[in-house]
Structure 1
Amino acid sequence: MKVFNLSNVFLGFLLILFTSCQQQENILELESSMRTFDIGVSYSLKIKVSEKIERVTIQFGEEEQVEVVGSVFEFTPQEVKEAEKVVLRGHDGDDKLIQESKYTFKYVDPSVTEPVEDDPEVPRPVGEFPHHNPTSLPQLNTLNRPWSNSQSAIVIDAYESNGIDWDKMAADKRMAAVIHRSGDGLKVDKGYAQRREIARERGYLWGAYHLGRPGNVIEQADKFLDTVGNDDEALLILDLENTQSSSMMNVKEALQFIDYVYDRTGKIVVIYANHSTALDLNSKAKNHALIKKAPFWYARFRENIPSFPTGIWDTYFLWQFSSEINCTKTGSCLYNVPGTRYDMDVNVFPGTVDELKTLWYNPGSEN
């Protein structure tokens, strides 16, 4: 019969707990989930760094590692690459390596589109609805700085850590809508409920986006709808950051989420996706009846769109063109919404504020 010394077991547990806490303190990671980048475009990526890390270096492929100044590194991909290994290294005050984070970046030529493969048609009882894109703005090139047209509507999307000075923001008469993160996976955004009330009081259109994570799809959808509550005027959105990342919702899970929300509400969610995610959706879901009816919120952080990921969608409903990815100083972004900082996501609707109001709804069987 074995006899255990409980005091030693307890001390061992404390040692494991202490070691675990120490490891958790060494944080070194990219804040953005973006991993696919256009060649010839400059990007600024923020790094989340814990206090114990005093020096950060970065290494691209076989190149020599270089020191990162501050918490942002800037780079411009020059050639197409399928898999560029990128390593962040964190050092303490004695220049000892204490944390290492590895990523794989993909660099693409935005003028080249990928082939679309057919997938089985998924029948759903969906009615017709008006196209979610405007037609009346004169001489507007929707792929080249549409925000430069003084009539186009501006939309911000925020989460709990973004600051908003509502009084200052009111000075921008083109500011039409606020989209806010309702949750991240199963975690509810702490700023959602209060900001919804403020936005509504000030006359802004309101939208709720759910950041999709892997697993627990139905539970995530229920959490999303329960957080939004009985709010028929809120635009429902599924945020698909990277459908090929193990830390994000994939295409199969996204379609399950879309179907479930439709079954529960009769509404088709707006789809948020960047260029590479849109191509992935084209490849794997272009014949899914609901997603074919979903308005498209396109993330592309640049002044123009050299090639659009045509397949499921021919154009966009909203274009997210500015964030901390391509702006590092407040007041110097492609468009600056008063009362917000450089890290606020800014979007354009290629139509007037009044047009946007008529299209601010989720399509469904009744439309």
Structure 2
Amino acid sequence: MLNAVIDLSHHNTISSFAAIKGAGVLGVIHKATQGTGYTDPAFAGNSTQIQVAGLLLGAYHFGEGGDAAAQASHFLSVAGKTPLLVLDFEANTQGQTMSVAEAEQFVQQVYSATGRYPGLYSGASFLKQALAGAGITSPAQTVLSKCWLWVAEYAASPQIPPLWQDWTLWQYTDGVNGDEPRTVGGVTGGCDRDQFNGSAAQLAALWQGPAS
């Protein structure tokens, strides 16, 4: 495993992306959008600084229940040419939660536009329940199985939800829960940190090439 990825949003206070790189981080996945109209106010500025620092840049969209096609279009318009894209598919505590069918439509539209499936971020328990509720028991039943898996699990090891043989990224801490280290130089306080299931060369390949 390689502890070299963090994920950020406007909620994080950044003092130096150079310090983040100096702490051994290789890639940053930043929140870009949510729903059909929200854009993270820090995405544009931080994206530039991430790349200037020589870090790999990824973008994620927080999915909401509703028009998945409009959400995908909004995400793609904001993310632009960001090479690594992710759908954050989890319970929405402030509104309607995205359904499995909506998640499928979202990732299919991203694939149609970019030629590669996005990563799928989710908690193991949430994803397992969502798939079961939709009657999905095998990879052939859903396009979500074509997405590489980014699982959130603040425990000694991550669960692997049905349909995937292994995880690609594991968010092992949210900066408060989970194992150490929970901080990284250049970010004030705790932050989301992620293990990568591979080497630095494999991480670069994930970022730049088809990951399905």
Q: TM-score, length-normalised on structure 2?
A: 0.86
1:269-288 equivalence runs, <5 A: 269-283=118-132, 284=134, 285=136, 286-288=139-141
The answer for the alignment partner of 2:47 in structure 1 is 196
Q: What CA distance in whole angstroms lies between the structure 2 residues aligned with 1:244 and 1:161?
A: 17
Task: Give % identity.
Answer: 28
Which of the residues 101, 106, 109 maps onto 1:257?
106
Partner residue of 2:26 out of 176, 179, 193: 176
- Describe the superposition over 1:323-363 as per-residue Cα deviations: whole angstroms up to 9, x where unpaired: 14517xxxx94343112234411101132322211222463
Shift >4 Å, 4+ stretches: 243-246
Task: Provide the rounded CA distance (Å) in 1 between the counterparts of 2:21 and 2:209.
Answer: 26
CA distance in 1, matches of 2:60, 2:72: 11
**After superposition, what is the alpha-carbon deviation per residue over 1:163-196, rounded to whole angstroms, capped at 9, x for unaligned?**
12224323213x1100000012120011111111
The residue that corresponds to 1:12 in the other structure is none
Post-superposition offset of 1:245? 9.1
Q: Secondary structure at the match of 2:172?
A: strand
1:156 aligns with 2:156: no
Provide the residue aligned with 1:112 in structure 2.
none
> 1:153, 1:350 within 8 Å by CA — same for their partners in 2?
no
- Identify which of structures 1 and 2 has the higher relative contact order when contacts are C-alpha pairs closer than 8 Å and 6+ apart: 2
SS at match of 1:207: strand
Equivalent-residue separation in structure 1 for 2:209 and 2:65 (angstroms): 24
Task: Choose the corresponding residue for 1:290, options 120, 128, 143.
Answer: 143
Asked if the contact 1:243–1:277 (Cα under 8 Å) also holds between the matched residues in 2, the reply is: no
**Partner of residue 357 from structure 1, selected from 188, 204, 209:** 204
Is 2:187 the partner of 1:340? Answer: yes
SS of residue matched to 2:105: helix
Shift of 1:310: 4.0
Structure exhibiting the larger radius of gyration computed from Cα positions: 1
Structure 2 residue aligned with 1:241 = 90
Query: Alpha carbons of 1:248 and 1:324: their partners in 2 closer, same or farther (altered >3 Å)?
Result: farther
- What SS does structure 2 have at the residue aligned with 1:287? helix
What displacement does 1:314 show? 1.3
| Cα distance change of structure 1 residues 179 and 294 upon mapping to structure 2, 3 Å threshold | same
| Structure 1: gaps (5+ residues) | 1-145, 147-151
Aligned counterpart, 2:15: 165
1:164–1:339 Cα contact (<8 Å) kept: yes
1:304-319 matches, within 5 Å, as 304-305=157-158, 308-319=159-170
Q: Which shifted more, 251-260 or 240-249?
A: 240-249
Within a 5 Å distance, the mapping from 1:100-115 to structure 2 comes to: none
**Structure having the larger proportion of residues in helix:** 2
Verify the 8 A CA contact 1:243 1:251 in the aligned structure 2.
no
Paired with 2:112 and 2:93, the residues of 1 have a C-alpha distance of: 26
| Greater percentage in strand | 1
After TM superposition, give the deviation of residue 227 of structure 1 in Å: 0.3
Alpha-carbon distance between aligned partners in 2 of 1:238 and 1:198, rounded to the nearest angstrom? 23
Deviation at 1:304, TM superposition (A): 2.4
Q: Which runs of 5+ in 2 are unaligned?
A: none
* 1:228–1:310 Cα change, 3 Å: closer
The letter of the residue matching 2:41 is: K
Aligned to 2:22, what secondary structure does the other structure show? coil
Residue 170 of structure 1 aligns to a residue whose secondary structure is helix
Name the Cα RMSD after superposition.
2.5
Tell whether 2:167 aligns with 1:320. Answer: no
